[in-house]
Structure 1
């Protein structure tokens, strides 16, 4: 019989006090695999060897085939930008979903990308600080609203959100990318919030 997985205790580790573009830590509720426990099967599941440094990915590597499928989907949504939505707006969709779900860690990561690729740092910061109803301009407002609808419940997303995206100038491929980015992080937020929590990094 295998030994039970260790449950980690970190009640005294401080939470981040607000949504931010700054670096935020994350700590798991269950012990991830140690780096020296990773086999070729686990490394194949990680896809990128550098992810072996991450507690999050080493925890997900306990099921390496599922992790590999998850990672390849993630990479296709956010890095395959030859057509469809620009990278900045894919990251905006992920940021909006994360802000709505209350995932401080994911919001910090993807807001940094959204700010970097769009150069609209003030708008991204306003989204983090004021929430998903803040006004960011017609196109970004439509992307955020669609992402929020998908995040609340898939049934809340429909013809009205699609019409608003079309009116803001998005074509079919771009609308699909909004859906993919928001839907993926709607799921990813819930996973991260279930198996761990954000922490304020040590100074």
Structure 2
């Protein structure tokens, strides 16, 4: 077992499963089809989920639709923000790192993303990002605390029903995904490249 990173980061982290994943050599054609993107075979997380190919396939297709469907709705940066806020609230350092990088890339707002990671979900944000963070965090609570006030704040920030739906789908998907990842393993610090110590 390795020590998990202590801080939220945008660094690329590793992930160590507590349950043995399939080896790449064990993956059948059905497993590789379930991965959707065959490059995911390099990931121990996806090789672990490949033990149930039908569920992995449905999970991956849902993930891709939530984040990559550009047919109207919320811009990608704000979808990634919803996933980052949910992951930050749930304590999923690995997922937060992945989606924070995407939120930075698509939103071009590294200071706002860094503040969310460093200070938490209550960190100051502009009206739109505040509304998305608040709704995402409320949806991730147990029991869920999302109310009509959160929806009104999203509308007041300029989102229509389709954009609100996208924000809530991104938050809900990662609320589930965080719990799955947190129950199956832990993040690991990136390896230091040779000669960079």
What runs of 5+ residues in structure 1 fail to find an aligned partner? 1-9
1:126 to 85, 109, 115: 115
Tell me the CA shift for residue 25 of structure 1: 1.2
Q: Which residue of 1 aligns with 2:35?
A: 46
Q: Is it true that 1:171 corresponds to 2:160 in the alignment?
A: yes
What is the distance in 2 between the residues matched to 1:155 and 1:115?
27
Q: Which residue of 1 aligns with 2:140?
A: 151
Q: Which residue of 2 aligns with 1:182?
A: 171
Q: Which residue of 1 aligns with 2:129?
A: 140
Q: Contact 2:11/2:190 (CA < 8 Å) preserved in 1?
A: no
SS of corresponding position for 2:9: coil
What runs of 5+ residues in structure 2 fail to find an aligned partner? 193-197
What is the distance in 2 between the residues matched to 1:171 and 1:135?
23
1:27 to 2, 16, 19: 16
What is the distance in 1 between the residues matched to 2:171 and 2:18?
25
2:75 to 86, 111, 116: 86
Residue deviations 1:93-141 (CA, integer Å, cap 9, x gap): 0000000000000000000000000000000000000000011100100
Q: Which residue of 1 aligns with 2:195?
A: none
TM-score w.r.t. the length of structure 1 is 0.93
Q: Is it true that 1:108 corresponds to 2:97 in the alignment?
A: yes
Q: Is it true that 1:69 corresponds to 2:83 in the alignment?
A: no
Q: Is it true that 1:57 corresponds to 2:36 in the alignment?
A: no
What is the distance in 1 between the residues matched to 2:144 and 2:19?
33
Please report the RMSD computed on the Cα atoms of aligned residues, expressed in angstroms: 0.8
What is the distance in 2 between the residues matched to 1:89 and 1:153?
23
What is the distance in 1 between the residues matched to 2:125 and 2:168?
19
TM-score w.r.t. the length of structure 2 is 0.96
Tell me the CA shift for residue 15 of structure 1: 1.4
Q: Provide the aligned length of Structure 1 versus Structure 2.
A: 192
What is the distance in 2 between the residues matched to 1:155 and 1:104?
21
Tell me the CA shift for residue 14 of structure 1: 2.1
Q: Could you list the runs of 4 or more consecutive aligned residues of structure 1 that deviate by over 4 angstroms after TM superposition? A: none
